[in-house]
A and B are shown apart, each in its own frame.
Chain A
Amino acid sequence: MDTLSLLFQGLIPVFIFFTVTYGFAKGVPVYDSFVSGAKDGIGIIIGIFPYVLAIFIAVKTFEASGAFDFIRKMFAFVATPFNLPPEVLSVAMVKPFSNAASLGIFTEILKSTGPDSLASMMAAVIMGSAETTFYVLAVYLGAVGIKKTKYLVPVCLIADMIGIVIAIILVKLLF
C-alpha cells in the first residue's frame, strides 16, 4: 500500500513537469504565466475566509458547549437495539463537519476496541467514504459568492446519510 501511495503522490510532480515543458514548447513565458495566475489566489481566499470562519465557529462552539457529547449519548441509546457500536455513529455524525474531530474519535475507537474490531472497521470505512461536507460547501460556494443554493444542502445531507448506512451494512455483511 505504501508503494501505491508513493505512485499516486508521484502524479503531481509528473503533472507539473508536463505542464511546464508543454508550455515552454508552445512558447509560453511559463514563469510570467505562473505568477499572473497565482496572483488571483489571495483574492479568492479572502473571499472564502468569512465562510470558513462561520463554519469553524459553529463546529468549535458546538463541541465546546457539550452538545456533541449529548448527541453521542443519544446515539448510544439508538445504537443498542440495532446491535451497533455507538462510537461508529459519532464518527458518522462528526465527519461532515470536521475532519480533525472525526479523526480524533476514530483514534479513540481504535484504542478502546482494538484495530480489528467491528467498530474500527465500520469507522474506517466511514472515514474513507465520507467527506467534510460543510467545509466543502463553505469553500466551494464561498469561492464564487453563491448565496441561493436551492436544494443543494438537503441533497448533500441525505446523500451523506445514505453513504453512512451503506458503509455500516457493507461492513456487517463482509466481516
Chain B
Amino acid sequence: MNTVWLLVVCISVVFAAVNSRFDGFTKAMFEAGKAAVEVCLYLVAIVSLWLGLTKILEDSGLIYKLSNFFRPAISFLFRNIPEGHPSITSITLNLLANFFGLGNAATPLGIKAMEDLQTLNPENDTITFEMMLFIVINTSSIQLVPFTAIGLLASYGSRNPNAIVLPTIISTVISSAAAVGILYLFKKFSRKDR
C-alpha cells in the first residue's frame, strides 16, 4: 500500500504542475476530506447496526451453531479456522451479502469478519493467510446479479439489459477462482524465499 499510495500522490502532483492545476489539486484535497467524512459517518451507522445484530447472535449462541453449520462449505477454503469460531459465521454472512448484492450489509459484516480473524492472528500488525484469502475473494467481487449495471442499462433504453447477467456471472466466477489461485501461487513462492 505504501508504494501504491506514494506513486499515486507523486504522479498527481507532477500532473498538477504540468497542467498548472494546483488550485484544482488543493480543492480536490478538501473535497476528498469531505467525502471521507461522509462515507465514514454512513459507515458508523451501518457498522454499528450490524455489530448490534451480530452481538445478539453471539449472546444467543446462534453464531456458534451457524458456524458449525457453515463450516463444511467455508473450511474448504479457510482451513486454519477452528471449529465453532465466530469468524466462520461472519465470513459466510459477508459472502452471502455480497452474493445477493446487499452492499449495505456486506461491508459491516466484512469488517466484523476481519475482527474475528484478527483474534486468531498471533502478530497483530501482520496479515494472515486467511485474511488475505478473505480480502481477495471480496475484491474480486462475487455478486450474483449486477443490479446497478442492469438498472443503468435499462434506464438508457437497452433492449435486453439482462443479457449481461450470464457474462457477469461467468467472469466473476473465473476471476474469483483466478484470484484465489494467484494467492496460492504467491504463497508457494514466498515460502521458497525463506
Q: A interface vs B, CB < 8 Å?
A: 1, 4-5, 8-9, 11-12, 15-16, 19-20, 22-23, 25-26, 28, 30, 33-42, 44-45, 48-49, 52-67, 70, 96, 103, 106-107, 110-111, 114-116, 120-121, 124-125, 127-131, 133-134, 136-137, 139-141, 143-156, 158-160, 162-163, 166-167, 170-171, 174-175
Contacts and interface: CB of A to CB of B under 8 A. Distances in A.
Contact of A41 (B14, B48, B139): B48
Dominant SS among interface residues on chain B = helix
Contacts of A156: 135-136, 139-140, 179
B115 to A, nearest CB: 6
Contacts of B111: 44, 48, 139-140, 143
B171 interface: yes
B33 to A, nearest CB: 6
Nearest to A30: B56
Interface string B94-117: 000000111011010011001101
B40 interface: yes
Dominant SS among interface residues on chain A = helix
Interface residues of B, number: 107
A168 to B, nearest CB: 9
A62 B114 contact: no
Given A20-B56, A52-B40, A120 B153 contact: yes
Which among B56, B140, B148 has the highest number of chain A CB atoms within 10 Å? B56
Interface of B: 1, 3-5, 8-9, 11-16, 18-19, 21, 24-25, 27-29, 31-33, 35-37, 39-40, 43-45, 47-49, 51-62, 100-102, 104-105, 107, 110-111, 114-115, 117-118, 121, 123-127, 131-132, 134-136, 138-141, 143, 145-150, 152-154, 156-164, 166-168, 170-172, 174-175, 178-179, 182-183, 186-187, 190
A30 B29 CA distance: 43
B12 A62 contact: yes
Given A1-B150, A110-B153, A141-B127, A149 B164 contact: no
